Chains A and B, each alone.
Chain A
């Protein structure tokens, strides 16, 4: 389980991990921990899967790539086969089943922006189902914080 210091570390890092020679020591100083203790805590959180990533968080659109949220209305008797067809594409980064007529929601992440429309067309051809594309037109970016 996470203790208060773990939670504080998570919040602190979400604000930005230092770009310096000894960043763990720098973060630790804020909590009265030494470098080794901070590294130990992050390792433990990673090993117990309390954190899913630690490091630079890359923005696909800024690298010349693109993200696009897509949705499909998949008949229940065809759900599993459709999941397999969609997930087989390397560019499908996340895929969630959701309780709605549009019951499959996935994110395409491509290195080239024009690949998004091509992929949607490929998936439509493979599944015979329409792909609704919802590219973001504006992002309100905020940090997610856990209660300290």
Chain B
């Protein structure tokens, strides 16, 4: 993937560092951040807007904890899809409501023949398997093989963080 933008300036970096752990839960969160990094609320808002436009910030939002929402099974479904069809089919799979992440990645033959990855969530493995079947139906004859990799243990989970 090509880089989307220019490098953030020092104040952008300060803004990233002060919000990467989350926005303050107060009535005027951007004003609170502005005070911390020594600028104005309007500047914080403008910088975040710019970062959203350039893709540095995907969005400002909530990340739900799938486990706590009862979606305790997650399966990384992987598919060997004809390259000429991969772009079109990937966008369909990515639009399914139970798919949280969908990517094309290079194969690593002979050990790894799959190029389309879709993370599917469900209340049980059976539910994830049924959802994988729906993906398989969508892919049809363009799909030459597939697998589901269930996670058995979380070994580490931290977000991306800039060094402090």
Contact = CB atoms under 8 A, between A and B. Distances in A.
B96 to A, nearest CB: 8
Contacts of A57: 57-61, 63
A64 B2 CA distance: 9
A137 B149 contact: no
A62 B16 contact: no
Interface residues of A, number: 76
A141 B108 CA distance: 23
Contacts of B108: 132, 134
A104 interface: yes
A136 B28 contact: no
Interface in B93-121: 93-95, 97, 99-106, 108, 111-112, 117, 121
Nearest to A57: B58
Contact of B93 (A59, A132, A140): A140
Given A97-B151, A97-B152, A132-B108, A16 B103 contact: no
A142 B95 contact: yes
B105 A17 contact: no
Interface in B140-163: 147, 149-160, 162-163
B158 A93 contact: yes
B37 interface: no
Interface centre among B25, B91, B147 (most CB of A within 10 A): B25
Interface of A: 2, 9-10, 13-17, 19-25, 35-36, 39, 42-43, 45-46, 48-65, 67, 69, 71, 73, 83, 86-87, 92-102, 104-106, 109, 111, 132, 134-142, 144-146
Interface of B: 1, 3-5, 7-8, 16, 19-23, 25-31, 41, 45, 48-49, 51, 54-65, 68-69, 76, 86-87, 90-91, 93-95, 97, 99-106, 108, 111-112, 117, 121, 147, 149-160, 162-163
Given A93-B158, A142-B94, 6 more contacts: A25-B27, A59-B55, A61-B3, A140-B95, A142-B100, A146-B64
